[in-house]
Structure 1
Amino acid sequence: MNSPAPSPFPILGVDTSSHAGSLALLHGHTLLEERSLAATGRRHARTLVAEVQALLRSHSVAPRDIGLLTVSAGPGSFTGLRVGVVFAKTFGYLTGTPLVAVDTFAIIAANASAEVTRLWVLEDAQRGALFAGHYTRTPEGHFAATGTTRIVPLEELAPLIEPADAVIGPGVKRLPDDLRTARRCLEGDLALPRGEHVARIGLRQWATGDRVTPFEFVPHYIRRSAAEEVAEKKALESAR
């Protein structure tokens, strides 16, 4: 399994995409600490800043010492992703730290054990559907997407999941019981993105030149929130 060349600087991994956010601080490939985020840290950028500062202080690392900022970009919670994006833009702009946007589903896929070579990552899309992305393990041992993440109605999902596929992610609990019994389901903490994986995947992306500026970083929503769709509908109705 190949790894990027060692990085001589601290790396910060941030995930706010789920109900259980996560922060991680690495130095090169060495994990210094990983912390769960308090609920307020996932809802308010100001609180997230305080939690990041506490993590850095505990390891005597100043914000400007961070050599790479890696942030989960979605899909996931609309509110959580927005908090993460605001933090990333602010931190990146103020410190000049290189920024990498990391696919949330790739982060979740990284939780799977080594014997898993194919899997579907699922997230609840509401309205009787799931966000679904398929991933396979590369010769280097990492997961890569085989296509784009899409919205799949629950009743159309079963034919897509082959016997060799595992399933993982917060959306697994929405699967029918017969499908959950017939396929390998990775649940519990395995279904949630981790800050350590954000940082490690982000480091690999950075090594290949895959990075963004604070102004370019946008969340991967797949579709707008229900509130936004309702607002647009009202605007169209009032314009008639």
Structure 2
Amino acid sequence: MPYILNIETATKNCSIAIAKNGETILCKEMAEEGYSHAEKLHVFIKEAIDNLQMSFKDLSAIAVSQGPGSYTGLRIGVSAAKGLCFALDIPLIAVDTLEVLASQVKVANGIIIPMIDARRMEVYSAVFDSNLNKIREVQAEIIDEKSFSEIDSTIYFIGDCASKCKTVLTKENFIFLEDKIYPSANEMSALSFEKFKNGDTVDVAYFEPYYLKDFMITTSKK
């Protein structure tokens, strides 16, 4: 009966969940403009452990959202996860942030596109089918009226950039689920458990978050 602590700090949502056999048994989170992750994260973890009357030694692994997302948020989450793994001598599991976000959507058919706000009209996005199989890898892209126009299926957009994107993404098959804003550790539970069962872990010493830095390089227009 493995217990896994899931940590999600890639966006404005500071979120942790403790899961047993892949099911969340307690989730604590707070989303606010000030990015209070440094102050809240360890408090949430300690409160969750205490509320469940557990010990840190009961944990079998730590899972962390690997990005893309906020540079500072990712650093805080990964640093906390690494510290706990070192102290407890347990494995570290990395989970795709956009897959965590996409996991909030349950549809019978169509396409799911989770998006995380980057800057201006830029987003971090990936494309999933209705079974949450990734059919296009993570990209940083500028959204305009031509984005995703080649897809005829119903597209469900989720994330924290609906207000800016729906002004240009106006095709009839585009649906914005505006109540699905931030990734949450609650949806990490099933994903991290599958990785745990498969022995899919990362090196605690060398793991780094996925910043998509290469995509941030631009060249001047001639």
Same fold (TM over 0.5): yes
Distance in 1 (alpha carbons) for counterparts of 2:18 and 2:35 = 17
- Structure 1 match to 2:178: 187
- Structure 2 match to 1:209: 199
Matched residue count? 214
What pairs with 1:40-189 in structure 2 (closer than 5 Å)? 42-44=36-38, 47-138=40-131, 143-155=132-144, 156-177=146-167, 179-180=169-170, 182=172, 183-188=174-179
What pairs with 1:26-37 in structure 2 (closer than 5 Å)? 26-37=19-30
Contact 2:121/2:165, CA 8 A, preserved across alignment = no
Q: Identify, as 1 or 2, the structure richer in helix.
A: 1
Q: Identify, as 1 or 2, the structure richer in strand.
A: 2
Partner-residue secondary structure (3-state), 2:10? coil
Q: Give the gaps of 5 or more residues in structure 2.
A: 218-222
Contact 1:41/1:48, CA 8 A, preserved across alignment = no
User: Over aligned residues, Cα RMSD in angstroms?
Assistant: 2.4
Partner-residue secondary structure (3-state), 1:147? strand
Contact 2:28/2:44, CA 8 A, preserved across alignment = no
Contact 2:147/2:169, CA 8 A, preserved across alignment = no
Distance in 1 (alpha carbons) for counterparts of 2:74 and 2:150 = 28
Letter of the 1:203 counterpart: F
% identical aligned pairs: 21
**Normalising by the residue count of structure 1, what TM-score does the alignment of the two structures yield?**
0.80
Displaced runs of 4 or more, over 4 A: 38-42
Contact 2:93/2:196, CA 8 A, preserved across alignment = yes
Distance in 2 (alpha carbons) for counterparts of 1:41 and 1:34 = 18
CA distance 1:79–1:58, shift in 2 (3 Å): same
Partner-residue secondary structure (3-state), 2:206? coil
Distance in 2 (alpha carbons) for counterparts of 1:113 and 1:32 = 21
Distance in 1 (alpha carbons) for counterparts of 2:81 and 2:215 = 21
Deviation per residue, 1:110-164 (Å, 9 max, x gap): 00023254211112221432212111134xxxx1222321121122424255442
Larger displacement relative to structure 2 (48-57 or 78-87): 48-57
Distance in 1 (alpha carbons) for counterparts of 2:170 and 2:209 = 30
